[in-house]
Structure 1
């Protein structure tokens, strides 16, 4: 019981008693848990994309901002490069961000077309198709071959663990003897055809070429 003195009298009142009065540390803990759950829900709302080292990551942002997989050893063929450590991401000048990446010349593409679309499953894809200028990293007599994220031994990719920035899958064909290259990044593996690796770019990634 407490007493409040006024000019005329002392008025007594009873202090309210709460059944539970949370302390400041408990409130902070509850607030932190709420934030964690909100962030977790937000993360689950959009599927996580795979990640890889910079020299094992391709990307397509524009016709001048991109990375492709090439043989790591200058002059090696695509077939010769298909060994652990034999492949490397090479990037356009604007996309080159890490010392582990190779750098493509600014005129790597003789002509190139960027296209986006929706695949048979309703999922988006993005691609580059066109003609290339041969430079010292490539073997001009090489008939070429395929790099991808979901083929190879056990479907682990070729090179293993390789990914496309922002997408779940990719397929790339490099054909130096035809002065031709193409790459498509997609969310659904059915939109990145892997079964025609010897059929050439136009069969795997329809688009504009030489």
Structure 2
């Protein structure tokens, strides 16, 4: 009888553990699609874990958006409260690209002020994209507390070969 009670209790705990694991894994951020709608509704790619380094996670970054359930960004997380300090949206209708540039508070996601940042684009993280566009380029610079992202129809409008130049030189824009 004691064996049966122990077996039942162990089985219950195992089932409960699996159910809990399933719930937490569905909440894990795993989105590889970002979107830019306007200055209040957009996504950025960031390391998958709080406090991760930008360049160290170029292959593993995931999408985080300004609000939950962004249309076009399945499985994306939500940016921490206070992460976006300013956001400046530009739509170039002639070239058919959109971008957001601005200031951030990297501390809200544990980003180090010693982190010089890095670049995310259609090659890294693998499988990433910007909804409605063929290309994108994003730079995140925690040491400067700035970020920039542009989604483009043509490769030439999303320069991915200048990551060490930083946001201001690669995409221009407003960082006030």
TM-score clears 0.5: yes
* 4+ runs deviating over 4 angstroms: 94-99
How much does 1:99 deviate? Answer: 8.2
Q: How many residues align?
A: 146
Which deviations, in whole Å up to 9, do the C-alpha atoms of 1:174-193 show, x marking residues without a partner? 00110000000010010001
Question: Is the aligned partner of 1:116 residue 2:91?
Answer: yes
Give me the CA root mean square deviation. 2.1
Paired residue for 1:148, among 113, 121, 127? Answer: 121
Higher strand share: 1
Structure 2 partner of 1:62: 38
Which is bigger in relative contact order (C-alpha 8 A, separation at least 6)?
Answer: 2
Structure 1 partner of 2:174: 208
- Kept in 1, the 8 Å contact 2:148–2:171? The answer is yes
Unmatched 5+ residue regions in structure 2? 1-28
How much does 1:129 deviate? Answer: 0.5
Separation in 1 of the partners of 2:62 and 2:34? 10
TM-score normalised by length of structure 1:
0.64
Unmatched 5+ residue regions in structure 1? 1-52, 150-156
